[in-house]
Amino acid sequence: MEKRTISFSPPDISELEIAEVAEALRSGWITTGPRTKMLECRLAAYMETGKTDIDCTTAEAIKKYSQRVVCLNSATAAEELNLRILGVGPGDEVIVPAYTYTASASAAIHCGATVKFVDIQPNGDPITHMPEMNYEALEQAIGPKTKAIVTVDLGGIVCDYDRIYSIVERKRGLFTPLNDHSNPLADLGSRIQAGLGRVAVVADCAHSLGASRVVEHTGKGKMEKKRRYCGSIADFTDFSFHAVKNFTTAEGGASTWCLPESVYEQGVTDAEIYKFYQLLSLHGQNKDALAKSKVGAWEYDIIGPWYKCNMTDIMAAIGLRQLDRYLGLLARREQMMKRYDETCDELGISHMIHHVPGMDSSNHLYLIRVPGIDVEERNLIIEKMAEAGVSTNVHYKPLPMMTAYGGDCSEYPNAYDYYQNLITLPFHTLLSDEDVEYVCETLEDVVNEVRS
């Protein structure tokens, strides 16, 4: 086969996104404004129903879906604000899987909390092979200081939330809610924690917009087994719209929440939660630029010395048109994935399984593990693939191996084993069928060469 150049994950931007960005630029409103609000409403409708075509201009849709999702400038900011709204701070512990990207853990550290890592299951989940937390270890790790568990739906595969919720329910006895009513933000966090009465489930869904799973337990606490989309499962969820993600706004992300009735019984309302995301993401200023632009409405107050991580309408313009195309993009990913699955199965290479009864992934990352090779051989495969024009990657080097987290993985042997023979194949919707064939053939040649 003739040599091709296959990049790892370029953004799939069509003329539709380009035209909408141009419209936004011409509209006279380029920072957070009507397009961001529309994207928030449409994303909420998508997370609730799985549909991307709900008309968010109708009074009914606005009532149901607006102020339920907050668009921000990254998933990292979204997770940090989720934890801040929840009242996580110094003295608290947040449990994070050892096998994830730094943002899952650093957001908790930004809030002043301590991160406790939990190893993954040996070789990941037995069915999907996703590097999912070892749930026995998770249960043991929960202590009196634990305020949240960050679950990571890695590659788009949805964790076993029924199991996670039953663990946090069993550990209710250890949980002491924050009791600080000295300022409005701490008061909100205290009421949310009192209403939860247990460790919160804070999902890192950076990869998993549109993924779904049949679950019984959800943040909402209804014991009803049904398919739910990421964003409607955990107590709090963050998403990433970074350039390499399935759904992009160049940089960007979003937060949402799905809380049990017992939280609302504490006097918490969705409008109050939404207002605090706005305040936290915009300097603590009680009027955004759009509200201030109304005649005579210049005056504002600063409620807290907070952060700056809002989404602009230029970013939202990209997102609106990406959302129109998103179900098609997911379907194309699933189609390409079948070809990769066939090749890996023929070569005896283990891969994550993105679709199983009751769980459909967002098909974000294609992780493979070549049996019997060590780190040097894995790196050699990566080099040889690159020489043949195929960019690959590694998701991830376990966090405890990183300097910032101590540089020692010895307490997380399953995470290390998973990492040492792992390669992420290029996987995106700009790949043609011929490109996919080329990746498969190159993989076969290189793996056979390194194995021989």
Ligand X SMILES: Cc1ncc(COP(=O)(O)O)c(C=O)c1O
Where along the sequence are the contacts to ligand X (CB under 6 A)? Answer: 74-76, 100-101, 103-104, 152, 204, 206-207, 240, 242, 253
DSSP 71-130: EES-HHHHHHHHHHHTT--TT-EEEEESSS-HHHHHHHHHTTPEEEEEPBPTTS-TTT--
- In whole angstroms, the minimum distance from the beta carbon of 243 to ligand X comes to 9
- In whole angstroms, the minimum distance from the beta carbon of 293 to ligand X comes to 28
Residues 132, 100: Cα–Cα separation, whole Å: 10
Per DSSP, what are the bridge partners of residue 203? 151, 237
- In whole angstroms, the minimum distance from the beta carbon of 206 to ligand X comes to 3
- Of the pair 207, 378, the CB lying nearest ligand X is at 207
- Of the pair 96, 178, the CB lying nearest ligand X is at 96
Which long-range CB contacts under 8 A does 1-5 form with residues at least 24 apart? Answer: 1/437, 1/438, 1/441, 3/388, 3/389, 4/389, 4/390, 4/434, 4/435, 4/438, 5/389
- In whole angstroms, the minimum distance from the beta carbon of 187 to ligand X comes to 28
- Of the pair 74, 362, the CB lying nearest ligand X is at 74
**Positive or negative: CA dihedral 168, 207, 37, 53:** negative
- In whole angstroms, the minimum distance from the beta carbon of 32 to ligand X comes to 17
Single-letter amino acid, residue 201: V
- Of the pair 103, 446, the CB lying nearest ligand X is at 103
- In whole angstroms, the minimum distance from the beta carbon of 360 to ligand X comes to 19
- In whole angstroms, the minimum distance from the beta carbon of 55 to ligand X comes to 28
Residues 438, 446: Cα–Cα separation, whole Å: 12
- In whole angstroms, the minimum distance from the beta carbon of 50 to ligand X comes to 22
- Of the pair 152, 440, the CB lying nearest ligand X is at 152
Single-letter amino acid, residue 450: V
DSSP 340-359: HHHHHHHHT-EE---EETTE
- Of the pair 29, 161, the CB lying nearest ligand X is at 161
CA 168 to chain centre: 21
- Of the pair 255, 414, the CB lying nearest ligand X is at 255
- Of the pair 54, 402, the CB lying nearest ligand X is at 402
**Residue among 171, 150, 151 nearest 159 (CA):** 151
Side-chain half-sphere exposure of 39, counting CA atoms within 13 A: 30
CA distances from 362 to 155, 156, 207, 343, 440 (A): 8, 5, 7, 21, 21
**Residue among 368, 363, 402, 362 nearest 385 (CA):** 368
- Of the pair 75, 385, the CB lying nearest ligand X is at 75
Q: Identify whether the C-beta of residue 36 lies closer than 8 Å to the C-beta of residue 71.
A: yes
- In whole angstroms, the minimum distance from the beta carbon of 145 to ligand X comes to 23
